[in-house]
Structure formats: structure tokens, C-alpha cells
Amino acid sequence: MATDRVARRALDLHHVTVSYGPRPALLDVSVSIEPGQLIGIIGPNGAGKSTLVKAILGFVEPDFGTVQVFGEQLSRAPRRIAYVPQRGAVDWDFPVRVIDVAAMGCYGRVPWWRRLGPSEHREAEEALNAVGMLPYRDRQIGELSGGQQQRVFLARALAQGSEILLLDEPLAGVDAATERTIMRVLRNARDQGRTLLVVHHDLATAAEYFDRLLLLKQRVLAFGPPATVLQEDLLNEVYEGRLRSFTHAITGEHEAVSE
């Protein structure tokens, strides 16, 4: 049945258009994402990657089009998507400890009149453990390194127990060792059947890290396995010649320059 087929998809975007003026941030974005995949969202600056994330989260109302999560309207499924913010979007001086941030993952499940109970605290601790941050549970979040901060927010997303995880540039500005740790956690989550959408800036590693790539520039220009998305002429068109040494980008010998 048709509904059955739709229900098996994690995420369905139909003709989503979002605008902040005459120039749309997203134009006619239609994409269907199967569950259990690690998907990279790539595209130049201003391509609407963060807007796409916000539209999927329901934080931005599309001018037109719908977002469906496991066949349901977004508004009826708010807890099925977890979100890891961009580093720059967080106030690192905020008085919260690592464990408090992880516990936020449980907020969506606990009704407002109830306090967080021992089972929620346990879940928060388990999530921290999964990303190797349990030893830091009582630190204030500003006292951590960039990679550790990223892992704490990852733990929060895991604690939400959502089937879909949205991550906005989780690998920006972290060192190589942290990048490996984060990717391992993401792959584990994928292997447990979760669907992950990751905004990613580094074309050099995109092919290696993701099952599918979504090339975005207001519209969806390509969506599929890395080999079919990372076509030289396509990328040159999208990045308007700002992409140097493309072949090196694919083989990972040089970092692609997308500025």
C-alpha cells in the first residue's frame, strides 16, 4: 500500500520552499530518505544547508511544501528528530554542566509537571558513556575542548532516543582524533538503525564518511551515493569555480577549498 511505502521512509520532503526575501533559501526541495543511513549535506556557503536543518526541525515554517517524518506530519512527530547545534550557536558560558546538557535529551519525553527521575538520569549517563564523556559529567560545558563539547551534544541527541539525528557541522573545527571519535559514534548510531543527516563542509572526506550525499544549492542538485554526486562538472557548477584541485578533493590528498 502507498502509505506503507511512505511509512518506511524516515524523512520525506515535498516541494519545500523557504524564503527570507525574493531570493529563496530553499527552492522546491523534494527528497526521500530511507532509514538507517548516514547522509552528508554538502553545498557552498549560503546554499541553505542550515535552513534545511531548521525546516526539518520545524523551526522554520516553509512557505510551501511539507516535511513528513515516518509518514507523519512534522507537527505530530516532534520527538522523532534530535538536533546537534553548530558550535557557534551555543552560549558556552551558560551555567550548565555536562550531565545537565545530556539530561536535556530527556526533556521531550517527561511531561512538564513531572520532575526528571532516576531513569532519566541513568539514560543521560548512558548517553555520555557512549561518547566517552562520562568522566566529565560535572564540568561546566565551557571548560571542555571543542571536540568534547561536540560529543556532549551528541550524547544529548542520543539521549533523545530519536530515530533521526540532525547535526549542523559537527566536524567543523575539531582535531583529527576527535573527528574519528565523532564519526565512530555516528556510525554506531547508524548501525543501530538510526538515520543521520550531517551538514558537512569538507568535500575531501565526504565520500569516505557518508553513505549518501545531498548536494544542495537552494535546490537539490544531486542526491545519491558519493560517487554519483561528486562529479567534477557538477561540483564546478555548484561551487562556481571556487573549488580547486577537485580530483585531489575526491582522493583526499588535498583539502578542497570551497571559499
Partner 1 sequence: MIKTALAWTAAIVAALLLGSLGISALVGRDLVSLWLEPWTLPYFHKGVVGGSLVAVPCAVLGCLVVLRRMAFLGDALSHAMLAGVCGGYLLMKLAFGAEAHIGGMVIGAVIASLITLALIAFVSRLTRIKEDTAIGIMYTGIFAAGVVLVSLLQRHIHIDIYHFIVGDVLGIGDSDLWVAAVVGALVLSMVVLFYRQLQLASFDRIMAAAIGLPVVLIDYMLTTGVSLVVVSGVRMVGVVMVVGLLVSPAACAYLLCNRLATMMVLAGLFGVTGVIGGMYTAEWFGTSGGGAIILFVTFQFLVVLMAAPRYGMLSRWLRLRRQLPQDLIEDVLSGILRAKGISPTLEAIRAKVAQPGGQIPRVLAFLEHESLVRRDGPGWALTDEGRVEATRMRRAHRLWESYLHKTGVPDDQLHDHAELLEHVNDPDTLAYLDQILGHPERDPHGSEIPRPVPVFEHPVPLRQLAPGHRGQVAVLAPAARGLDLSLGETVIVTAHADGSWTLHRETGGDVICDDEMADAVLINVVQRAQFA
Chain residues binding partner 1 by CB under 8 A are 54, 57-59, 78-79, 81-83, 85, 89-91, 94-97, 100, 104, 107-108, 110, 112-113, 116, 140, 156, 160
Shortest distance in whole angstroms from residue 61 CB to partner 1: 11
**DSSP H or E stretch at residue 6:** helix 2-7
Shortest distance in whole angstroms from residue 169 CB to partner 1: 14
DSSP string, 186-253: HHHHHHTT-EEEEE---HHHHHHH-SEEEEEESEEEEEE-HHHH--HHHHHHHHTT----HHHHHHTS
**For residues 7 and 96, which CB has a smaller minimum distance to partner 1 in the complex?**
96
Shortest distance in whole angstroms from residue 114 CB to partner 1: 10
**For residues 108 and 146, which CB has a smaller minimum distance to partner 1 in the complex?**
108
**For residues 59 and 64, which CB has a smaller minimum distance to partner 1 in the complex?**
59
Shortest distance in whole angstroms from residue 78 CB to partner 1: 3
| Distance linking the first and last C-alpha atoms of the chain | 46
**For residues 160 and 205, which CB has a smaller minimum distance to partner 1 in the complex?**
160
Q: Computed from CA positions of residues 162, 168, 169, 173, in that sequence, does the dihedral angle turn out positive or negative? A: negative
The one-character DSSP state at 14 is E
Taking the C-alpha atoms of residue 239 and residue 241, their distance in angstroms, rounded to an integer, is 6
